[in-house]
Amino acid sequence: MRPSPVTERGVRPAKWYEKLEGKRVRCLLCPWKCVLEPGRVGLCGVRANKDGELFTLVYGLASSIAIDPIEKKPLYHFYPGAPILSISTVGCNFRCPWCQNWTITRASPEKAWLEYLDPEGVVKLMKRYDVPFVAYTYNEPLIWYEYVEDVAKLVKEAGGFNVLVTNGYVNSEPLEELARYIDAANVDVKAFNPLTYLKVIGGKLEPVLQNVKALRERGVHVELTYLVVPGVNDSAEEFGKLVRWVLDELGPEVPLHITRFFPAYKFVDRPPTPVETLLRFWELARREGLHYVYVGNVPGQSGEYTYCPRCGKAVIKRFGFDIVEWNLTNDNRCKFCGAPVHVVGGRWRWTSRL
């Protein structure tokens, strides 16, 4: 079958691979390290061997372009209240059976409706809407590497900020290079059991954890998301191990979002996560010593608030993605007791910066 003109537009030489005998290539972008015969596409669905060289099939091909609140990523401690231009393509290097975005993560570049947006076009959109934040999100952005890197460089040159919303499944070298242009990331830790990663998600836990640490070491602001899926990762024991890992390896200031699962994709046969489970995990994480713990996807409960680590009062009150009360000083100190609260950049105000 002839590729569609749209797909041809998205084909560009890929980075991070090595040539093998017989025109085979080994992709070195993510820990899968797919070995591809000519004509074959990697597990991500968007990187292909064409006549002995590796190409990305989705350079500049966007499946969604939207402006979201930054809280939706979720990021609660990075310019709270900011709008963020959010872009995605298709494909993923994981196989989560509960994927909420499976219509794009499981779509192939040939069949999906994709709009071409060159890197300069992203900066133009930033300027037109006066939104200096760009998120690479909805599908896994690391498999869109070449484009994300090119866009991210231009965004930085224009004075903007780059945010990755990612599963963290990438090799260290590509991550290290890309991290130079990344300001913040939300990384999904999808389970704290290596077997769940291997059997259910398709991948390994260890590289994800290493990459979380690597991002922090490179100065990237990191928040973590743990989606609680009934029957998969909802034991308090497993969640407790994650909390202790965060405390030991990252420290108490890393925000942890405990989010509610809703039936989707192959997991339509089970109910949403009981709110009670989410609140129990929230208490557990707070009791163990994490400062900033949130219950996500449940609007209208106190697990949406940021509490002062010293006096315990609510310093940022939210309802869903909206900030409804702000009790921090201009230098991000608690208005009640003066303790510093970890917020990068402070509350976003609409002023023309670009």
Which residues are at the interface with Zn ion (CB under 5 A)? 308, 310-311, 334, 336-337, 339
* Closer residue to Zn ion, CB minimum distance, 235 or 329: 329
Minimum Å gap between C-beta 135 and Zn ion is 30
* Closer residue to Zn ion, CB minimum distance, 291 or 318: 291
Which residue type occupies 54? L
From residue 142, alpha-carbon distances to 122, 174, 293, 296, 333 in Å are 17, 9, 26, 24, 35
Q: Would you mind telling me the total number of residues written for the chain in this entry?
A: 354
* Closer residue to Zn ion, CB minimum distance, 230 or 340: 340
Question: Taking a C-beta distance cutoff of 8 angstroms, is the pair 267, 97 a contact?
Answer: yes
Question: Taking a C-beta distance cutoff of 8 angstroms, is the pair 43, 93 a contact?
Answer: yes
Quick one: which of 22, 99, 104 has its CA closest to 66?
104
Minimum Å gap between C-beta 291 and Zn ion is 11
Separation of alpha carbons 154 and 219, rounded Å: 19
* Closer residue to Zn ion, CB minimum distance, 307 or 348: 307
Question: Taking a C-beta distance cutoff of 8 angstroms, is the pair 194, 206 a contact?
Answer: yes
* Closer residue to Zn ion, CB minimum distance, 100 or 327: 327
* Closer residue to Zn ion, CB minimum distance, 278 or 334: 334
* Closer residue to Zn ion, CB minimum distance, 126 or 293: 293
Strand 25-27 relative to strand 17-19, pairing: antiparallel
Minimum Å gap between C-beta 309 and Zn ion is 8
Minimum Å gap between C-beta 279 and Zn ion is 23
Tokens encoding 266:
């192959």
Quick one: which of 74, 109, 71, 73 has its CA closest to 92?
109
Minimum Å gap between C-beta 311 and Zn ion is 3
Minimum Å gap between C-beta 314 and Zn ion is 10
* Closer residue to Zn ion, CB minimum distance, 46 or 290: 290
* CA-atom Rg of the chain in angstroms: 20
Separation of alpha carbons 343 and 339, rounded Å: 12
Strand 47-50 relative to strand 35-36, pairing: unpaired
Minimum Å gap between C-beta 327 and Zn ion is 8
Minimum Å gap between C-beta 334 and Zn ion is 3
* CB neighbourhood size of 260 (10 A): 17
Q: Is the peptide bond before 74 cis (omega within 30 degrees of 0)?
A: yes
